[in-house]
Amino acid sequence: MPEDCYTTEGKRPESVHSVEDERAEGTIMEQVRQPRRVLAGVGRAVVVLVSATALGASALGWTAYRGVTVAVTTDDVIAAPATPPSREKAAAADTTFLLVGVDSRTDAQGRPLSREILDELQAGNPSGEQNTDTMIVVHVPADPTKKAFAVSLPRDSYVDIAGGYGKHKLNSAYSRAKNANGGSATAGRRNLIETVNNLTGLRVNHYAEINMYAFSQITKAVGGVPICLNKAVKDNYSGADFPQGEQVLQGADALKFVRQRHGLPRGDLDRVRRQQAFLAGLASRVLSAGTLTDPGKVTALLDAIKTSVVLDQNWNLLSLAEQVQGLSGGRIEFHTIPTLRSDLATPADGTAVEVNPKQVKAFVQDLLTAVPAPPVQMRQGLGSGTVAPEQHQETITANGVHCVN
Amino acid sequence: MALAGIAVTGAGMALGETYFPFALAGGCVVAALLADRSALFTAAVQPPLIALAVLGAAALFSGSLLRSASVFASVFPILAATTGGVVLIVLVRVLLNRRKTGSDAQ
């Protein structure tokens, strides 16, 4: 005799009810009579509850997932390679992304920042300028046994700008193409990527752009980033005023720290090193268990990122997080491309940093093929002509706090 | 038969996370359609549990909790639809059984 699934356990009742009766009250009556059925019922209720909770958790996750994948501003900046370089076939699954910090006084959607925020950031007046003052190429090999590296490109590097604009400072690649294309930020980003590709010999396949406000918000969201200064500094241009030694910076202070260039022994090159040390600290902070398991911090972090970060169209924060997660600890090293004179006189751009493209490409190739053993000495590759004592600096990695000028 | 869902889903996840949602939906629907009547309850409640179990195992196996969590989050629409579909199939089967039981009793 067939039984329905709700009466499979225990005996059927002696008295046969009509189907309707059984549906209405039969089950309850049976449960009262038979303790085993009650237990089975409780067990089933628990299973249903767990199942429903799992579904609910997935729904919550979905909301957050939509938040990070849809709400983030994206831009169609990565062109499909016309001729895939055969040299990089072996490294096909590697990820190379370009991190760009712009000094724009707008948010990711191009809306101007409020006066209060500008004052808070000591950002001065919005001049309409959009220079990409921080450019870092991060290469994450698909092979987890290989080292990842981040290479800073000093903003004043005097290089050939893609798009036929001739030789200029690297930080103008974005604004030149943007202005020439009726203010299209997309054109600016594409031109910068192309310029970086040409300079480094790498092929950038992801792009992330952050502005000053987002930067400040992100450092607040993670509860500050530990840094260390070799000497106390005070600078009126950026508003930096910090004591010597280890300290935790966030918000506007963090911004001052990474923006200060005046009063440093090597100017922009020291600033580049500060940015590397800061990124290393930020990465270890974000990836620490205390941040990613704290829903409040994660929400604040996502909010900061949503308002002011621009990613390329094929990327999302989850992929970024997954890629960065694998880089925790000492797996990533920060370098700067080799530069020559930092007082190169130029026809139209003032003083720039001299760069030999061949040397840069060779340097990057060395990093690509480097054996996992960490190259400690001379990796900084600064000023091959004049060897100053500061050049024997330790390589910055993402574990621990590194003291900088 | 009811546990076919977890086998299919596990196999799907092993193939790669792209296949996971399809394996999950397919496995659970097949299980709901073919399961023995005594196992209909299991078939009805299992989709979220299977997702959780398979992704939990994947997290332990691959060590990337973030990846598993992101798959669990991204799969929600399919998971919800599958659960809804499976519950519907089970309800229809229960109703058909009752009708049959009812006509047998008369």
Closest approach of B52 to chain A, Cα-based (Å): 7
What confidence category does residue B92 fall into, taking pLDDT thresholds of 50, 70 and 90? very high
Separation CA B21–CA A152 (nearest Å): 40
Chain A neighbors of B45, CB-CB under 8 A: 47-48, 51
Lowest pLDDT segment from A36-40, A302-306, A319-323: A319-323
Give the 3-state secondary structure of chain A.
CCCCHHHCCCCCCCCCCCHHHHHHHHHHHHHHHCHHHHHHHHHHHHHHHHHHHHHHHHHHHHHHHHHHHCCCEEECCCCCCCCCCHHHCCCCCCEEEEEEEECCCECCCCCECCHHHHHHHCCCCCCCCCCEEEEEEEEECCCCCCCEEEEECCCCEEEEECCCCEEEEHHHHHHHHHHHCCCCHHHHHHHHHHHHHHHHCCCCCEEEEEEHHHHHHHHHHCCCEEEEECCCEECCCCCCEECCEEEEECHHHHHHHHHCCCCCCCCHHHHHHHHHHHHHHHHHHHHCHHHHCCHHHHHHHHHHHHHHEEEECCCCHHHHHHHHHCCCEEEEEEEECCECCCCEECCCCCEEEECCHHHHHHHHHHHHHCCCCCCCCCCCCECCCCCCHHHCCCCEEECCCCEEC
Structural domain span for residue B101: 2-105
Separation CA A338–CA A384 (nearest Å): 7
Residue B32 predicted with pLDDT over 70: yes
Closest approach of A136 to chain B, Cα-based (Å): 25
Q: Structural domain tally of chain B? A: 1
Question: What ipTM does the predicted assembly reach?
Answer: 0.84
Pairing of strands A403-404, A225-229: parallel
Average pLDDT on A128-136 reads 77
Of the candidates A47, A58, A322, the beta carbon closest to that of B75 is on A58
Q: What is the pLDDT of residue A37?
A: 82
Separation CA A399–CA A283 (nearest Å): 9
pLDDT by residue (tens digit) across A338-384?
A: 888 877 777 877 888 888 889 899 998 888 887 544 433 333 433 33
Q: Mean pLDDT in chain A?
A: 74
Cβ within 8 Å of B, A 9-48: 16, 18-19, 23, 44, 47-48
Under 8 Å between Cβ of A230 and A403: yes
**Could you tell me which chain B residue has the CA closest to the CA of A54?**
B48
Of the candidates B38, B79, B94, the beta carbon closest to that of A55 is on B79
Closest approach of A309 to chain B, Cα-based (Å): 20
pLDDT by residue (tens digit) across A250-265?
A: 888 888 888 888 878 7
